[in-house]
Amino acid sequence: MPQSVLREPAQTGPDGRAYVIDQMISAKSIAARVESLAHEIEAHFADTDKLIVVGLLRGSFVFIADLARELDLPVEIDFIEASSYGAAMQSSREVRILKDLRGEIEGRDVLVVEDIVDTGFTLHHVLHLLRARKPRRLEVCALLDKPSRREVEAPLRFVGFEIPDEFVVGYGIDYAQRNRNLDHIGKVRFVP
Ligand code: IMP
Ligand code: MG
């Protein structure tokens, strides 16, 4: 069966529309890319005494788990949660912090881990907040980047894959809280 063909039975979204998920990036390709991203990050932070890896909840939870285990550096893991799309497929452009970091980051090396960067509003807001706390170095690693959708600047130092303007799910990423547990990245396609 070709990869682009429907892998799952149709599901129903929050508005009652049926959709299927077409595979875009396989679990194997993700694993290979995560390994090479970890090498890029290790090289960049080779001299660090401790790297604070900050996951943006909830979408980054699978990615950060895999990435952190590939990192051969002293790391600490922390999380921050920003408000997201809710049940919609559009960014609200208003970003609120729902859960802040537990630890201090002043003078530390910090790597923010994001699942996907779309308009850039979420990351822009989070970076503004974190920069004010004066970390020594602050870099961003995003698994997916949709550059064609960018509306505000979001400096990405490490990017897993650039993807076209499609709504994707899986590997931690959701559609109205569903499909986070898919082991690959797929795109949502509505069906009649
Ligand atoms: P931004 O603020 O527009 O850059 O959106 C970033 C956040 O929106 C990401 O962290 C995701 O949680 C969510 N998001 C953006 N694109 C998608 C998508 O294609 N599928 C699911 N969630 C997405
Ligand atoms: Mg997110």
Average pLDDT, the chain: 93
> pLDDT tens digits for 81-123?
998 655 567 666 778 899 999 999 999 999 999 999 999 999 9
Atom of ligand 1 nearest to the CA of 187: 19
Work out the average pLDDT over 154-182. Answer: 97
Q: Give distance in angstroms: CA of 1 to centre of ligand 2.
A: 31
Strand order in the sheet with 137-145: 97-99, 75-82, 51-57, 109-117, 137-145, 158-162
Atom of ligand 1 nearest to the CA of 173: 21
Asked if residue 1 has pLDDT above 90, the reply is: no
By DSSP bridging, strand 158-162 and strand 137-145 are parallel
Closest to 159 (Cα-Cα) out of 69, 67, 90, 87: 67
pLDDT given at position 91:
66
Higher pLDDT residue, 13 or 2? 13
pLDDT given at position 2:
47
Whole-structure pTM over 0.95, yes or no? no
Q: Indicate the pLDDT class of residue 46, thresholds 50, 70 and 90.
A: very high
Q: Give distance in angstroms: CA of 47 to centre of ligand 1.
A: 32
Q: Is 119 in the pocket of ligand 1 (CB under 6 A)?
A: yes
pLDDT given at position 9:
76
Tokens linked to 163:
């993807």
Closest to 54 (Cα-Cα) out of 105, 5, 124: 105
Q: Is 115 in the pocket of ligand 1 (CB under 6 A)?
A: yes
Q: Give distance in angstroms: CA of 61 to centre of ligand 2.
A: 10
Whole-number Å distance between alpha carbons of 6 and 78: 36
What are the catalytic residues? 118
> pLDDT tens digits for 128-167?
999 999 999 999 999 999 999 999 999 999 999 999 999 9
Tokens linked to 35:
């390994």
Q: Indicate the pLDDT class of residue 7, thresholds 50, 70 and 90.
A: low
CA distances from 26 to 2, 3, 23, 63, 153 (A): 13, 9, 7, 14, 29
pLDDT given at position 172:
98
Whole-number Å distance between alpha carbons of 138 and 110: 5
Atom of ligand 1 nearest to the CA of 117: 4
Alpha helices in the chain (DSSP H): 27-44, 61-70, 121-131
Q: Is 54 in the pocket of ligand 1 (CB under 6 A)?
A: no
The ligand minimizing its distance to the Cα of 89 is 1
